[in-house]
Amino acid sequence: MRAEELARKQKEISIAEFFEKNKHILGYSNPAKAIITCVKEAVDNSLDACEDAGILPDIFVKIDRVDKHYRITVEDNGPGIVREQIPRVFGKLLYGSRFHAIRQSRGQQGIGISAAVLYAQLTTGKPAVVTSKTSPKSKAVRMEIFINTRKNEPEIIREEEYDWYVSSGTRIEIEIAGSYARERKQSVYEYLRETSVVNPHAKITFVDPDGEIFEFRRLSEELPPPPKEIKPHPHGMEIGQLMAMLRYTKAKNLKDFLKSEFVRVGDKTTSEVLEKAGLNPKAKPQELERDEAAKLLNAFRETDFLPPPTDCLSPIGESLIMKSLMARYRPEWVYATTRKPSVYSGHPFLVEVGIAYGGEIKEDRVTLLRYANKIPLLYQQGGCALTKAVETVNWKSYGLQQSRDELPVGRAVILTHIASTNIPYTSESKEAVAAIPEITDEVRLALQEAGRKLREYLERKERAIKKKKKEDVLNKILPLLARKLCEILEKDEIDVDRVVARIMGNLHVKREVAEEDGVASVILRIFNFTKARRELKVFEMCSGGVEAEGAKVSQSSYATVQWDVALNPGESIEINYRVRGRIINKKPFVSGVDAELLSGAEPFGL
């Protein structure tokens, strides 16, 4: 075959055509995974849009069976999309606003939702139906969109305006060939549940193909702080990227180029870099040759720059991680830690870890939740650096069982989250994090900190169990001994509970009530038999009026009475109050003392 004939067969391949023949690259490798990926791309877009607009997300997801296919509907209460942008957002691959922005976000490539539209088009031949409304005063726009794969351009099949009940928002409906699975780790339900854990400010409602409704309620009324966009860091540069920046910069000389195009570069640092590179500060950036650009890059590597700012990141936060784990899994104990931000190759990142243990967690094998920029990673667990970091921690020393280089065994959930301006995924489908040493080290340190807290809790729990057994034995034997001794010595019966509390080293509370003419006179006697000074809050809840000198009384449908008490070891105190009515709580409530050190009262967590 002649060269001329070969040349005639050469054709330009559009990005849409490429993914048309390589859908597995984007996560559409099998029918079950395809449904999850479509839902994921739409939900991620909804969360980002709502957060960027300062709106608490309210997301509705529905999957219907249509003949042999599935119709996926995802609707949000975000700002909507202007009419001119709808076709390009949903009908053109590699189109978006975040690709060049250096800040934390769920999606950046501009492939996600348009790839879902392409997959639907390929498997069912049906267009995507997009509805958008940007203002309460305007009508909604509804479009049916195809992607012209030859040109990578959208084709609007139909367009209309109509009245939509929402103030603003976006809805997308796509019909795909897929397989819906509910009872498995990789499922739409599991993806949405895991999404709700790290997005406690979002309300997500899911209706499955059988019509069952699942609601993941909003746990926080506060939006996460919006990440700010930053400029590139010199330590993250490569030669080709640097040459492109030099060619297209608007700066008139090298000095201005370094100061205006990079973060954390001031006058002093600029002079230092240019001196090391042997370059003239007044030289035009566009005129630098490759060798000169290489000298500049080497000077970057030899210079100690300040790390990039971390306000470009938006962590979940320790309190919200613990609140989410407690609400979603109902454990008996939970802990979370957020590491200080760090840097790899000029990209800022931070690691967060949470552990929930016991309670309603029934599975013996630890459940591992992996997240990158608040996106659940459901697939390729074995090939993920977050998994490897968990496996390399010696969990036996923290109270969990573990075989070598495997996930630990125990009734626990371990959450790992990495937030970064550039997540180093192992593939375009964004299912696993690559093994970057700086990242795996930070994850391991966070896990070890959480592990130490778990060990402390388990050891404290074991001590409490042993102490309770001993206390139960004393409570069975001492009353019998005390009764016999009092009979023999002809003495009044002693307060056995107080004796047991003294032996066990507890803080003991005894309530005595005397009623007359509808008024109860109450005495609270508090004994500190522990070995430490205790600062307590003591509470009683009563119906009716209360007379309590030195107490804080709040009155609503009932009165809550609070005393602040401080007792040194061996000290006791007597509290008196009167109530015209009744005491609601069976025992006084006490905060400031661990439950295993308290007798005669109920622990109250504040």
- Domains parsed from the chain with CATH numbers: 15-216 (3.30.565.10), 234-302 (1.10.8.50), 331-458 (3.30.230.10), 502-603 (2.60.40.2960)
Q: What is the C-alpha to C-alpha distance for residues 470 and 296, in angstroms, rounded to an integer?
A: 73
Q: What is the C-alpha to C-alpha distance for residues 88 and 86, in angstroms, rounded to an integer?
A: 6
257: CB partners within 8 A, 6+ apart: 245, 246, 249, 251, 285
Q: What is the C-alpha to C-alpha distance for residues 295 and 282, in angstroms, rounded to an integer?
A: 16
Q: What is the C-alpha to C-alpha distance for residues 437 and 425, in angstroms, rounded to an integer?
A: 14
- The CA–CA distances, whole Å, from 338 to 202, 277, 408 equal 21, 39, 22
The whole-number pLDDT of residue 449 equals 94
Q: Any idea what DSSP says for residue 382?
A: G
* Mean confidence (pLDDT) of the chain: 83
Two tokens, residue 439: 């990242």
Two tokens, residue 353: 């870890």
Start-to-end C-alpha separation, the chain = 83
Query: Quick check: 602 pLDDT over 80?
Result: yes
Query: Quick check: 108 pLDDT over 50?
Result: no
Q: What is the C-alpha to C-alpha distance for residues 58 and 40, in angstroms, rounded to an integer?
A: 15
The whole-number pLDDT of residue 171 equals 94
pTM for the model: 0.72
Mutual angle of helices 31-52 and 188-198, in 10-degree steps = 30
CB atoms closer than 10 angstroms to residue 487: 10
For residues 294 and 239, the answer to whether their CB atoms sit within 8 Å is yes
pLDDT one-digit tens code per residue, 266-276: 888 888 888 88
Q: What is the C-alpha to C-alpha distance for residues 103 and 108, in angstroms, rounded to an integer?
A: 10
Which range is most confident: 96-110, 454-468, 576-590?
576-590
The whole-number pLDDT of residue 597 equals 85
Rg for the chain, CA atoms, rounded? 32
CB atoms closer than 10 angstroms to residue 34: 24
Two tokens, residue 598: 């308290």
Q: What is the C-alpha to C-alpha distance for residues 170 and 85, in angstroms, rounded to an integer?
A: 12
For residues 439 and 424, the answer to whether their CB atoms sit within 8 Å is yes
Two tokens, residue 494: 């002693």
| Torsion 583-589-595-596 (CA) sign | negative
Upper half-sphere CA count for residue 396 (Cβ side, 13 Å): 6
| Torsion 456-457-462-465 (CA) sign | positive
The whole-number pLDDT of residue 101 equals 52
For residues 592 and 537, the answer to whether their CB atoms sit within 8 Å is yes
Query: Quick check: 490 pLDDT over 70?
Result: no
Query: Quick check: 465 pLDDT over 60?
Result: yes
pLDDT one-digit tens code per residue, 517-563: 888 899 999 999 988 899 999 999 888 888 888 888 887 667 888 99
Mutual angle of helices 267-277 and 254-261, in 10-degree steps = 130
> pLDDT category, 12, cuts 50, 70, 90?
very low
Extended beta strands in 90-231, E state = 128-133, 140-148, 153-162, 169-176, 203-207, 213-216
The whole-number pLDDT of residue 104 equals 64
Q: What is the C-alpha to C-alpha distance for residues 581 and 61, in angstroms, rounded to an integer?
A: 51
The whole-number pLDDT of residue 447 equals 95
CA 212 vs. chain centroid, Å, equals 26
